[in-house]
């Protein structure tokens, strides 16, 4: 018999439901506060923002981004975003800067300082040294009248009406606003530089986009002894044997002068047999597919994937402008290269 003490009462179910509703309501409240904080930034984007962009675009050095505590975490993310979108940047911890790391900052750089209060002691300690060597200072704070704002060459206002924290203490809406403002700066600079997908790929070579935009057909195609090829005068049996040996499901067929005559696939073989054709009696030239789909070795591997999907094929011949065979691609090659 079940112990009544272990069976949840209607009261406990109601309490659980009420608690869950309260948690969801709090989440909605937080998101609403942070959304308003970000939207409010739009009203403040103007000449100061444009001036900040111009200073960074004219900078012959790098953007050094710095902040303490939660602002430091946001500063590190902004530095990473800038660096990956065409603006050389790195994060400098302000406390470490006071113990030798300030030597990383040069006159050619732009120093981007983040502080919600605008009065962070660790930043204010190094700002006079930054100003003394004539390094451009851009500040992102939540207080236009703060010491950091007054010392800066350009000040970007990231102030918020209140934090999303119920105590109005934990950095929440303020850090979200600062991060959004940093993103706006990075994207504006990206577009001003004409930074495109291939530029992005070069700074993300380990990612999927980098592989798709940087990997070319010549990097993954099969060549030499692994390339299935027979002459147009070969027998059908020789072509079948070449398909079997090279395991690509097809073989290229060439003219005596090296030009591509066509392609013969295992699908072509099945169709020959379905029609009652004889392997011994048919010539390869009678069953070869002329004018096969080809691709240049300089083309992006992603283009090869698109061609294969479009034509519903699993292998593709690579040919030069004169129509001579350069290599071959199988879908498995592209999968292994993590392009498909």
Give the orientation angle of helix 173-193 with respect to helix 47-57, to 10 degrees.
60
Does 46 share its domain with 142? yes
Q: Is residue 86 part of a domain?
A: yes
Q: Which whole number is the average pLDDT over 230-255?
A: 90
Q: Is residue 129 part of a domain?
A: yes
Q: What is the pLDDT of residues 163-222, one digit of tens each?
A: 998 888 899 999 999 999 999 999 999 999 887 666 666 665 555 555 666 788 999 999
Q: Is residue 45 part of a domain?
A: yes
Residue 158: name the closest of 321, 267, 49, 320 by CA. 49
Q: Which whole number is the average pLDDT over 27-50?
A: 95
Q: Is residue 208 part of a domain?
A: no
Return the pLDDT at 37. 95
Contact between 49 and 112 (Cβ < 8 Å): no
Does 121 share its domain with 174? yes
Return the pLDDT at 236. 86
Does 178 share its domain with 63? yes
- The CA distance from 64 to 87, in Å, is 11
Does 31 share its domain with 154? yes
Does 180 share its domain with 260? no
Q: Is residue 207 part of a domain?
A: no
Q: Domain boundary residue among 127, 159, 194?
A: 194
* Average pLDDT over the chain, rounded to an integer: 89
Q: What is the pLDDT of residues 115-163, one digit of tens each?
A: 999 999 999 999 999 999 999 999 999 999 999 999 999 999 999 999 9
Structural domains in the chain (count):
2
Q: CB under 8 Å, gap of 24 or more: what pairs does 23-30 form?
A: 26/166, 29/164, 30/164, 30/172
The domain in which residue 53 lies consists of 12-194
Q: Is residue 54 part of a domain?
A: yes
Does 113 share its domain with 222? no
Q: What is the pLDDT of residues 42-95, one digit of tens each?
A: 999 999 999 999 999 999 999 999 999 999 999 999 999 999 888 999 999 999
Tokens 């209140």 -> residue: 162
Grade residue 269 by pLDDT with cuts at 50, 70 and 90: confident
Does 268 share its domain with 328? yes
Whether the pLDDT of residue 28 is over 70: the answer is yes
Return the pLDDT at 1. 45
Return the pLDDT at 215. 82
Does 16 share its domain with 90? yes
- Find all residues with CB under 8 Å of 209, minimum gap 6, and list them: 197, 200, 201
Whether the pLDDT of residue 22 is over 50: the answer is yes
State the CATH number of the domain containing residue 63: 3.40.50.10490
Residue 88, classed as helix, strand or coil, is coil
Q: What is the pLDDT of residues 277-335, one digit of tens each?
A: 677 777 788 788 888 889 999 988 888 889 999 999 989 999 998 889 999 999 888 88
Does 37 share its domain with 185? yes
Q: List the beta bridge partners of residue 327.
A: 318
Between 339 and 295, whose confidence is greater?
Answer: 295
Q: Is residue 5 part of a domain?
A: no
State the CATH number of the domain containing residue 303: 3.10.580.10
- The CA distance from 91 to 40, in Å, is 27
Does 132 share its domain with 96? yes
Contact between 68 and 51 (Cβ < 8 Å): no
Does 68 share its domain with 123? yes
Q: What is the pLDDT of residues 4-13, one digit of tens each?
A: 555 555 678 8
Does 166 share its domain with 227? no
Tokens 């004889």 -> residue: 278
Tokens 């006079």 -> residue: 128
Q: Is residue 41 part of a domain?
A: yes
């Amino acid at each position: 018999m079940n112990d009544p003490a272990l069976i949840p009462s209607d009261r406990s179910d109601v309490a659980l439901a009420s608690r869950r509703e309260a948690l969801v309501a709090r989440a909605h409240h937080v998101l609403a506060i942070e959304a308003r904080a970000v939207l409010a930034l739009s009203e403040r984007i103007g000449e100061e923002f444009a001036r900040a962009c111009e200073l960074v675009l004219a900078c012959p050095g790098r953007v050094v981004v710095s902040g303490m505590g939660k602002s430091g975490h946001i500063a590190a993310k902004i530095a990473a975003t800038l660096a990956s979108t065409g603006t050389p940047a790195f994060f400098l911890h302000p406390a470490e800067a006071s113990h030798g790391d300030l030597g990383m900052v040069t006159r050619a750089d732009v120093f981007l300082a983040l502080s919600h209060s605008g009065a962070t002691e660790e930043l204010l300690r190094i700002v006079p040294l930054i100003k003394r060597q004539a390094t451009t200072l851009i500040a992102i704070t939540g207080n236009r009248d703060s010491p950091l704002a007054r010392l800066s060459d350009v000040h970007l206002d990231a102030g918020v009406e209140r934090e999303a924290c119920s105590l109005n203490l934990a950095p929440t809406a303020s850090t979200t606003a600062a991060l959004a403002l940093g993103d706006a700066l990075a994207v504006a600079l990206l577009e001003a530089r004409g930074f495109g997908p291939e530029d992005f790929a070069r700074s993300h070579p380990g990612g999927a986009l980098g592989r798709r935009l940087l990997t070319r057909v010549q990097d993954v195609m099969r060549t030499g002894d692994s390339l299935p090829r027979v002459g147009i005068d070969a027998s059908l049996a020789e072509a079948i044997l070449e398909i079997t040996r090279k395991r690509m499901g097809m073989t290229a067929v060439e003219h005596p002068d090296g030009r591509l005559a066509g392609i013969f696939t295992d699908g072509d073989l099945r169709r020959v047999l379905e029609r009652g054709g004889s392997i011994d009696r048919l010539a390869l030239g009678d069953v070869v597919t002329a004018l096969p789909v080809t691709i240049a070795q300089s083309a992006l591997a992603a283009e090869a994937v698109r061609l294969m999907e479009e034509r519903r094929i699993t292998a593709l011949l690579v040919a030069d402008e004169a129509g001579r065979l350069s290599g071959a691609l199988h879908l498995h090659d592209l999968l292994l290269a993590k392009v498909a």
